Amino acid sequence: MRRLLAIMTARSADIMAYIHELAEWPEFRWDHKVLAVTLAAVRHRQGRLIGRMEALGFDLRRAASLQTMTEEVLKSSEIEGEILDRDQVRSSIARRLGMDIGGLVPTDRDVESVVEMMLDATQNYDLELSDERLFGWHAALFPTGRSGMQRIKVGAWRDDTLGPMQVISGPVGREHVHYEAPKAARVAGDMQAFLDWFNGQGVLDPVIKAGIAHLWFVTIHPFEDGNGRIARAIADMQLARSEQSPQRFYSMSAQIRQERNAYYDILESTQKGDLDITAWLTWFLACLSRAFDGAEDILSGVLRKARFWEKHAGDSLNERQRVMLNRLLEGFEGKLTSSKWAKIGKCSPDTALRDITDLLERGILVKDMGGGRSTSYSLNDRDDQVAVS
Same domain, 60 and 157: yes
Low-confidence ranges of the chain (pLDDT < 50): 1-15, 383-389
What count of other Cβ atoms lies within 10 Å of the Cβ of residue 357?
12
Count: domains in the chain = 2
Domain assignment present for residue 141? The answer is: yes
Is 227 part of any known ligand binding site? yes
Domain assignment present for residue 2? The answer is: no
Domain assignment present for residue 386? The answer is: no
Domain assignment present for residue 389? The answer is: no
Answer yes or no: 221 catalytic. yes
Structural domain boundaries, residue 359: 319-379
Is 232 part of any known ligand binding site? yes
Return the closest-CA partner of residue 287 out of 261, 314, 309, 323: 261
Is 181 part of any known ligand binding site? no
**What own/partner pairs with CB < 8 Å and gap ≥ 24 does 275-280 have?**
275/19, 275/22, 275/24, 275/25, 275/26, 275/27, 275/28, 275/29, 276/28, 276/29, 276/30, 276/31, 277/28, 277/29, 277/30, 277/212, 277/215, 278/30, 278/31, 278/34, 278/35, 280/211, 280/215
Cα separations in angstroms, 273 against 19, 24, 179, 279: 6, 13, 12, 10
Same domain, 158 and 213: yes
Domain assignment present for residue 3? The answer is: no
Q: What is the pLDDT of residue 14?
A: 37
Is the CB of residue 167 less than 8 Å from the CB of residue 148?
Answer: no
Percent of the chain's residues with pLDDT above 70:
92
What count of other Cβ atoms lies within 10 Å of the Cβ of residue 306?
16
CATH of the domain at 324: 1.10.10.10
Same domain, 153 and 48: yes
Domain assignment present for residue 310? The answer is: no
Same domain, 323 and 280: no
Bridge partners (DSSP) listed for residue 169: 176
Which one of 253, 274, 302 terminates a domain? 302
DSSP characters over 3-19: ------SPPPTTSPPPG
Same domain, 107 and 38: yes
Pairwise CA distance, residues 189 & 183, whole Å: 11
Same domain, 198 and 331: no
Which of 44, 176, 221, 312 is labelled catalytic?
Answer: 221
Cα separations in angstroms, 104 against 13, 210, 327, 345: 56, 33, 11, 11
Same domain, 228 and 363: no
- DSSP type of residue 307: H
What count of other Cβ atoms lies within 10 Å of the Cβ of residue 24?
10
Same domain, 329 and 209: no
Pairwise CA distance, residues 290 & 231, whole Å: 19
Per-residue pLDDT tens digits for 186-221: 999 999 999 999 999 889 999 999 999 999 999 999
Is 230 part of any known ligand binding site? yes
CATH of the domain at 59: 1.10.3290.10
Q: What is the pLDDT of residue 7?
A: 31
Same domain, 294 and 354: no
What pTM was computed for the model?
0.82
Which one of 302, 334, 353 terminates a domain? 302
Same domain, 215 and 119: yes
Same domain, 242 and 345: no
Domain assignment present for residue 12? The answer is: no
Which one of 302, 336, 369 terminates a domain? 302
Is 313 part of any known ligand binding site? no
Same domain, 196 and 281: yes
Is 229 part of any known ligand binding site? yes
Domain assignment present for residue 195? The answer is: yes
